[in-house]
């Protein structure tokens, strides 16, 4: 099994979806077509780099910048009538002694913000975001741009920027900054 296929299987498992292309949804689109349209929107806005398209799954990288100095991996998967978006920064490690602070940080975010849902990934000791978009008959490029790019990826990137402001990486140890 190739590395891309393995990554796609892991991403689908993390998102809790099947990689099989399901029947056409009420919107008249197959999951593969929905993912292709999302890719067009991402390319148009130059949002994600190194996009990998595999069946109904799109993998991309949100590159590090001055606001958050780690790359964020974005998994976008389409099913019959939903799009699932999950982001993780596997380079942004939370040491075991700071897991309680990280959990409190996630709980505070989830209480104050509507989306994305954030949590600590226990396998990778980092943060993860998850956002689901329900598709309807109006799956225009504007709808996908607003729901997937702005809300899904944009707010996930906003969470990671906030995490970067609240946690500092010092020699591999992430410490809480005093506000």
The structural domains of the chain, ordered by start, are: 3-166 (3.30.1460.70)
- pLDDT tens per residue, range 13-53: 555 555 444 444 444 557 777 888 888 888 888 877 778 88
**Could you tell me the pLDDT band of residue 105, with boundaries at 50, 70 and 90?**
very high
**Could you tell me the pLDDT band of residue 177, with boundaries at 50, 70 and 90?**
very low
CA proximity to 19, closest of 78, 91, 81, 93? 78
In degrees, to the nearest 5, what angle opens at C-alpha 161 toward C-alphas 70 and 56?
70
- pLDDT tens per residue, range 120-175: 988 888 999 999 998 876 668 888 889 898 999 999 999 999 998 888 653 243 44
Q: What is the pTM of this model?
A: 0.77
Contact between 63 and 45 (Cβ < 8 Å): no
């Amino acid at each position: 099994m190739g590395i891309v296929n393995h990554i796609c299987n892991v991403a689908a498992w993390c998102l809790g979806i099947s990689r099989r292309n399901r029947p056409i949804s009420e919107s008249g689109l197959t999951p593969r077509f929905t993912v292709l349209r999302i890719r067009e929107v991402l390319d148009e806005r130059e949002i994600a780099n190194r996009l990998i398209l595999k069946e109904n799954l799109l993998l991309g990288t949100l590159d590090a910048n001055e606001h958050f100095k780690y790359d964020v991996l974005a998994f976008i998967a389409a099913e019959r009538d939903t799009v699932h978006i999950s982001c993780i920064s596997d380079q942004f490690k939370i040491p075991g002694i700071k897991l309680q602070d990280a959990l409190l940080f996630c709980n505070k975010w989830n209480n104050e913000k509507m989306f994305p849902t954030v949590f600590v990934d226990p396998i990778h000791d980092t943060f993860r975001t998850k956002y689901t978009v329900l598709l309807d008959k109006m799956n225009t490029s504007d709808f996908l741009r607003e729901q997937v790019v702005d809300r899904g990826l944009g707010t996930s990137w906003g969470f990671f920027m906030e995490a970067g402001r609240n946690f500092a990486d010092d020699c591999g140890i992430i410490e809480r900054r005093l506000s």
